[in-house]
Amino acid sequence: ISSSPEAQGHRHVKTEGQGAAGWPTLFAKSSMSLVVADPFQCIVKKNQKYASECREVVLAHKGTTEISEDFARFTNLEVIWLNGNHLSRLDNLEKNVRVRELYVQDNRIVSLNGLKTFKFLRVLLASNNQIRNLDGQLCLMSKFAFLQKLDLFGNPVAEEPDYRMRLIFHVPQIDILDQHTVKPAERIRAAELVP
């Protein structure tokens, strides 16, 4: 069994930046590696039949920096684990409209915009990222009619004024927010507080 990154379902691309006079930039002091999450790594046979039948992919803690376009071939996915990686965006998931559970905590994600097609989402764990702009995220999450469990703690968005109340108001079906059950008194307060 090979333990090379390619054998583990990753494609590596080395990049290094250079500043003036050919000196490496401070950002690229050490070379960066692009690691692409490949869902084909999670199935026995690498063909369309197996991809279409796949319901869950686990690509957690792989050092992933980018999501493969091959996710479009996994049209029946219901559960995706991408937690503990280095993702900054949730790209290439538009075709995965059946996803009910998404685990992307402990990444570097700045926005949830890549989830616009996730109509059936019930669980979204996205704690410890870099998600900002509560108004923008609320606009998106208010369309998740089935969302019951949401974790966004450890993100800049969770530090915004009235964060919890605004989320409870705009996503009224939520049962668990940031690992705490939403209480009836909170729902009443959210209705009074949020215009």
107 assigned to some structural domain:
yes
What's residue 14's pLDDT? 36
Mean pLDDT of 167-177: 97
pLDDT value for 143: 95
| Mean of per-residue pLDDT scores for the chain | 87
Distance CA 190, CA 195 (A): 9
pLDDT higher for 192 or 6? 192
121 domain-assigned: yes
The secondary structure element, H or E, covering residue 37 is strand 32-37
| H-run or E-run covering 97 | none
Nearest to 118 by CA among 136, 152, 142: 142
Encoding tokens for residue 112? 């949830």
User: What mean pLDDT comes out for the span 16-24?
Assistant: 40
| Residue 7 domain flag | no
pLDDT exceeds cutoff 50 at 5: no
- What are 69-114's pLDDT values in tens digits? 999 999 999 999 999 999 999 999 999 999 999 999 999 999 999 9
Q: Would 86 be classed as within a structural domain?
A: yes
Confidence grade of residue 33 (pLDDT, cut at 50, 70, 90)? confident
Q: Name the residue range of residue 116's domain.
A: 38-193
Residue 171: which of 101, 123, 107, 109 has the closest Cα? 123
CA distance 35 to 88: 12
- Provide the whole-model pTM: 0.83
What pLDDT shows up at residue 32?
58
Domain count, the chain: 1
pLDDT value of position 28: 38
Residue 15 belongs to some domain of the structure? no
pLDDT at 54 over 50: yes
Which pLDDT does position 139 carry in this prediction?
95
CATH number, domain containing residue 51: 3.80.10.10
Tell me: pLDDT of 8 over 50.
Answer: no
**CB-side neighbour CA atoms (13 Å) of 17:** 8
- Per-residue pLDDT tens digits for 135-157: 999 999 999 999 999 999 999 99
Amino acid identity of residue 117, one-letter, is T
Residue 191: band (very low, low, confident or very high) from pLDDT cuts 50, 70, 90 = very high
**Contact call for residues 125 and 152 (beta carbons, < 8 A):** no
Q: For residue 11, is it within any domain? A: no
Q: What is the mean pLDDT of residues 37-52?
A: 94
